A and B are shown apart, each in its own frame.
Chain A
Amino acid sequence: MDFDFSDDQKFLKSEARKFLDARCPTSVARGVLDDPARSYDADLWKAIAAQGWLGTTVPEDYGGLGLGGVELCAIAEELGRALAPAPFSSTVYFLTEALLVAGSDEQKRRWLPKIAAGEIIGCFATSERPGPLSEAQAGARVEGGRITGTKAPVTDGDVADLAVVLAKEAGQISLFLVDLTGEGVRRETLQTLDPTRGVARLTFDGAPAERLGGAGEGLALAQAVLDRAAILLAFEQVGGADRALQMARDYALERFAFGRPIGSYQAIKHKLADIYIKNELARSNAYYGAWALATGAAELPVAAAAARVSATEAFWFAAKESLQTHGGMGYTWDVDCHLFYRRAQQLGLMAGGAKAWKERLVSQLERRNVA
Chain B
Amino acid sequence: MDFNDTPEEAEYRARARDWLQQNAPKNPPHDTETPAGMAAAKAWQRKKAEAGYAAITWPSEWGGGGGAPWQAVIFSEEEAAFETPGNPFVIGLGMCVPTVMTAGADADKTRFVRPAVLGEEIWCQLFSEPGGGSDVAAARTRAVRDGEDWIINGQKVWTSGAHYSDFGLLLVRTDPDAPKHKGLTMFWLDMKSPGIDVRPIHQMSGGSNFNEVYFNDVRVKDSQRVGALNDGWRVSLVTLMNERLAVGGLGGPSWRAVMRLAQDVATLAGPAAKDVGLREKIADWYVQAEGLKYTRYRTQTALSRGQTPGPESSIGKVVSASLMQDMANTALELEDQFGIISDPKDAPLAGVFQSALLSAPGMRIAGGTDEIMRNIIAERVLGMPQDVRLDKDVPFKDVPTGR
Contacts and interface: CB of A to CB of B under 8 A. Distances in A.
Pairing of A with B: yes
Interface of A: 1-6, 70, 245, 249, 252-253, 260-261, 263-264, 266, 268-270, 272-274, 276-277, 280-285, 287-288, 290-291, 294-295, 297, 305-306, 309-310, 313, 355, 357-359, 361-362, 365-366, 369
A85 B283 CA distance: 31
Contacts of A269: 374-375, 378-379, 382, 384, 387
Given A270-B371, A295-B3, 10 more contacts: A3-B294, A253-B384, A270-B374, A270-B375, A276-B315, A277-B318, A284-B298, A287-B1, A357-B283, A366-B273
Given A2-B2, A366-B259, A309 B294 contact: no
A288 B3 contact: yes
A317 to B, nearest CB: 12
Greatest chain B CB density within 10 A among A70, A294, A358 is at A358
A281 B315 contact: yes
A287 to B, nearest CB: 6
Contacts of A280: 291, 295, 312, 315
Contacts of B301: 1-4
A1 B2 contact: yes
B377 interface: yes
- Nearest 9 pairs between A and B by C-beta? A281-B291, A269-B378, A358-B283, A284-B294, A273-B374, A273-B377, A3-B297, A264-B385, A270-B374
A365 B259 CA distance: 10
Interface in B288-322: 288, 290-295, 297-298, 300-302, 304-305, 312, 315, 318-319
Interface stretch (B4-12, B126-134, B237-245): B4-12
Interface stretch (B90-98, B113-121, B274-282): B274-282
Contacts of B190: none
B1 A273 contact: no
30 contacts: A1-B5, A1-B6, A1-B304, A2-B1, A2-B6, A3-B300, A4-B302, A4-B305, A245-B382, A249-B384, A264-B386, A273-B381, A274-B374, A277-B318, A277-B319, A277-B377, A280-B291, A280-B312, A281-B288, A281-B295, A284-B297, A290-B1, A291-B1, A306-B286, A306-B287, A313-B284, A358-B279, A362-B279, A365-B259, A365-B286
Nearest to B379: A269
Contact of A369 (B256, B279, B298, B387): B256
Interface of B: 1-6, 9, 70, 256, 259, 273, 276, 279-280, 282-284, 286-288, 290-295, 297-298, 300-302, 304-305, 312, 315, 318-319, 371, 373-375, 377-379, 381-388
A49 B373 CA distance: 45
Nearest to A294: B1
Contacts of B312: 280, 283-284
A4 B385 contact: no
A359 B290 contact: no
A252 B378 CA distance: 11
Given A276-B377, A277-B377, A287 B384 contact: no
Contacts of B287: 281, 285, 306, 309-310, 313, 361
A4 B298 contact: yes
Nearest to A292: B3
Contact of B291 (A249, A266, A310, A355): A310
Contacts of A252: 384
A225 B294 CA distance: 24
A359 B276 contact: yes
Contacts of B373: 273
B283 A309 contact: yes
Greatest chain A CB density within 10 A among B371, B385, B387 is at B385
Nearest to A293: B1
A207 B190 CA distance: 87
Nearest to B9: A1
Given A2-B1, A274-B374, A284-B294, A266 B387 contact: yes
Nearest to A276: B377
Contact of B283 (A276, A283, A291, A361): A361
Contact of B286 (A5, A6, A313, A361): A361
B326 to A, nearest CB: 15
B355 to A, nearest CB: 23
A281 B319 contact: yes
Contacts of A295: 3
Contacts of B293: 284
Contacts of A369: 256, 259
A284 B293 CA distance: 8
B48 to A, nearest CB: 22
A266 B374 CA distance: 9
A326 B131 CA distance: 37
Contacts of B3: 1, 3, 288, 291, 295, 297
Contacts of A290: 1
A263 B385 CA distance: 6
Contacts of B291: 280-282, 284-285, 306, 310
Contacts of B381: 273, 276
Nearest to A6: B1
Greatest chain B CB density within 10 A among A1, A306, A355 is at A1
Greatest chain A CB density within 10 A among B1, B292, B297, B374 is at B1
Contacts of B1: 2-6, 70, 287, 290-291, 294
Contacts of B4: 1
Greatest chain A CB density within 10 A among B3, B319, B371, B385 is at B3
Nearest to B385: A264
Contacts of B70: 1
A285 B294 contact: yes
A305 B294 CA distance: 15
A4 to B, nearest CB: 5
Nearest to B310: A280
Nearest to A295: B3
Greatest chain B CB density within 10 A among A280, A283, A295, A313 is at A280
